[in-house]
Amino acid sequence: MSGLIPLKDLQTEALGPLICYPRFEGTEYLRRLKELELLNVEALELSGPLKVLNLQVLGKGCVSIVVAAALKGGGRCALKIRRVDADRGDTLHEVEMLRRANAAGIGPTIYGYTQNFITMELIEGEPMPQWVTGLRGRGSKERLRRVLERILRQARLLDSIGLDHGELSRAPKHIIVDRVDRPHIIDFETASVKRRSSNVTALTQYLLIGSRVAREVSKRLRITGEERVIEALRRYKREPNDGNFEELLTVIGLI
């Protein structure tokens, strides 16, 4: 099922379980419906690449489901729904991590939250691997170089404020490139300020060393000398400062 579903129509056997996934509970459902009203959510927009309960959604994880939603007044957002079987009782940790990222100009802008929901900016685009493989035509090499520099600078900013995303070694799910080639880091569910921040290290390893997307990037940018990249990355890991970061970008050929 896809399309725009007003909140009042969620009270159907097919749709109610979506906001109480994976186990529908009547009392919990009514509580969550009130939370959605507090967040000014007017309708769910069932679209996206994944299916939950035969309904199209933007994302699904062990803690939450993400759907597009319409807000009162005409706006749109991404709505993160805490699963009833999640290993955490509320959204507060992710809200705090996302607020810290937002303060540095990173991540989807948070709009509001309750115990079970977060409304935030809806980032529309492609996961980075699909974006890379879909690049075609004149200027594609420069577009790729520009996006890589931008996303690595975002990772550096996160390192500098001590916020470790925690999932950038699995960047296919956590980086979206929008229609004007702006990369966005999303999903701060497992982010932390208590462990050592290693965003640049994790992201560089994913983008340039060993993965399928790394082979595609290296081919398109004609990057040679993986050992030099690894050594520059080691220097940054030992001393994560701006100087070593800029040297890493130079070795990769982004500046």
Banded pLDDT at 12 (limits 50, 70, 90): low
pLDDT at 173: 83
Return left, alpha or beta for 51; rule: phi > 0 is left, psi -120 to 50 is alpha, else beta.
beta
| CA nearest neighbour of 15 among 28, 29, 34, 27 | 29
> Which of 104-118, 120-134, 202-216 has the weakest average pLDDT?
202-216
Instruction: Write down the mean pLDDT value for the chain.
Output: 92
Per-residue tokens: 79 = 């709505």
pLDDT at 2: 58
State the number of CA atoms in the 13 A half-sphere of 37 facing the CB.
9
Banded pLDDT at 255 (limits 50, 70, 90): confident
pLDDT at 224: 74
pLDDT at 245: 98
Q: How many angstroms separate the CA atoms of 79 and 94, rounded? A: 13
Banded pLDDT at 234 (limits 50, 70, 90): very high
- Residues 48, 59 contacting (CB under 8 angstroms): yes
Q: What is the pLDDT averaged over residues 194-219?
A: 90
Number of neighbouring beta carbons within 10 Å of residue 163: 23
CA torsion 153-155-161-165 (nearest 10°) is 160
Q: pLDDT for 95-107, tens place per residue?
A: 999 999 999 999 9
pLDDT at 147: 97
Q: What is the pLDDT averaged over residues 173-192?
A: 95
pLDDT at 13: 57
Banded pLDDT at 169 (limits 50, 70, 90): confident
Looking at domain 3-120, which of 3.30.200, 1.10.1060, 2.30.29, 3.40.50 is its CATH number?
A: 3.30.200
Amino acid in the structure at residue 179:
R
**Domain extent listing, the chain:** 3-120, 125-252
| CA nearest neighbour of 200 among 147, 241, 251, 142 | 241
Q: How many angstroms separate the CA atoms of 245 and 156, rounded? A: 8
Residue 175's beta-bridge partner residues? 185
Banded pLDDT at 127 (limits 50, 70, 90): very high
